[in-house]
């Protein structure tokens, strides 16, 4: 996929643990990915002297769209997103297989990635994969609206982009969940040395206040349990957890997601 120039991608913290991604292209042109809160995004745009020309919406949850009205009042621009988000300002509805070019920034391909929600979209520009709340660094979104089959299919498609794009493929997700997700990953695969190393690296970055919600897809494949349900060591761990053999990949994924949900619940006690 061709871009006008290799864009610079800025990470803007908003709300309690969300991120807005700001893609800076040529001559100050910029694209906003999701719009959970307007204030910090406006500050980042003005501090860098950028001109937003488009916003991409991944799905309809409030923490990804509730800043959109204020942003569009301040910066007239095209809003790309799913049909369900017309009500919050999307004026260019996109879906599976679509592509569009943002002048000064590049070409974006659209993938339908349901599971977290039924309307979830991911966007690919060059080596960058903006996957919202479908694929997290070291984790994946909860199944609020979709099924395990949908989510596994979506994650398989995103993982396959790593092979299609190459080693520079990098994901950019919607939340700072990496450390929590890695705690579960280490619990599920205690002998995975890549996970252990990543736990240390993420802890060091967070101690410095650095974001960790972007990562190479290759690293995700080695450390994200939700991309590894077919790996024998993890599959055996899932089977031990449920106490039975699992032949079906979708069932294995569903049980892994249940295991993570239970693990999160216990961590809050």
Query: What domains are defined for the chain?
Result: 8-173 (3.60.15.10)
Using DSSP, state whether 101 is helix, strand or coil: strand
Q: Is 98 a catalytic residue?
A: no
pLDDT at residue 267 in the model: 55
- What pLDDT does residue 266 have? 61
The residue from 10, 34, 60, 64 that is catalytic is 64
| Burial class, 216, CB count within 10 angstroms (exposed 0-12 / middle 13-18 / buried 19+) | middle
pLDDT tier for residue 7 given thresholds of 50, 70 and 90: confident
Active site residue 64: yes
Catalytic choice (60, 116, 120, 153): 116
Q: Annotated catalytic residue: which of 10, 119, 120, 133?
A: 133
Is 10 an active-site residue?
no
Determine contact, residues 182/138, Cβ cutoff 8 Å: yes
**Annotated active-site residue in 60, 61, 120, 153:** 61
What is the mean predicted confidence (pLDDT) over 35-43? 97
Query: What pLDDT band is residue 2 in, cutting at 50, 70 and 90?
Result: very low
Residue 241 has pLDDT above 80, yes or no: yes
pLDDT of residue 4: 41
Res. 6: pLDDT tops 80: no
pTM tops 0.75: yes
pLDDT at 1: 39
Side-chain half-sphere exposure of 64, counting CA atoms within 13 A = 28
Pick the catalytic residue from 34, 63, 119, 180.
63
- Active site annotation includes 61: yes
* Residue 175 appears among annotated catalytic residues: yes
């Amino acid at each position: 996929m061709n871009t006008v120039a290799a864009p610079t991608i800025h990470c803007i913290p908003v709300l309690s643990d969300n991120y807005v991604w700001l893609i800076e292209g040529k001559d100050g042109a910029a694209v906003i990915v999701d719009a959970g809160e307007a204030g910090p995004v406006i500050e980042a745009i003005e501090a860098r002297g950028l001109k937003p020309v488009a916003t991409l919406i991944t799905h309809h949850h409030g923490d990804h769209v509730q800043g959109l009205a204020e942003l569009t009042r301040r910066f007239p621009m095209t809003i790309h997103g799913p049909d369900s988000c017309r009500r919050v300002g999307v004026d260019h509805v996109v879906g599976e297989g679509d592509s569009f070019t943002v002048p000064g920034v590049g070409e974006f391909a659209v993938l339908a990635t349901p599971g977290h929600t039924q309307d979830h979209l991911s966007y690919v520009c060059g080596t960058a994969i903006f996957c919202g709340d479908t694929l997290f660094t070291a984790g994946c979104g909860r199944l609020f609206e979709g099924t395990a089959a949908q989510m596994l299919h979506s994650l398989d498609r995103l993982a396959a982009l790593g092979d299609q794009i190459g080693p520079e493929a990098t994901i950019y997700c919607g939340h700072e969940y990496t450390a929590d997700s890695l705690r579960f990953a280490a619990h599920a695969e205690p002998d995975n040395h890549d996970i252990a190393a990543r736990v240390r690296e993420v802890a060091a970055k967070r101690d410095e206040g650095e974001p960790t919600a972007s990562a190479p897809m290759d690293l995700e494949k080695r450390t994200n349990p939700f991309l590894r349900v077919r790996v024998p060591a993890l599959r055996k761990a899932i089977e031990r957890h449920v106490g039975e053999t699992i032949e079906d990949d979708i069932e294995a994924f569903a049980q892994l997601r249940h295991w993570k949900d239970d693990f999160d619940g216990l961590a809050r006690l």
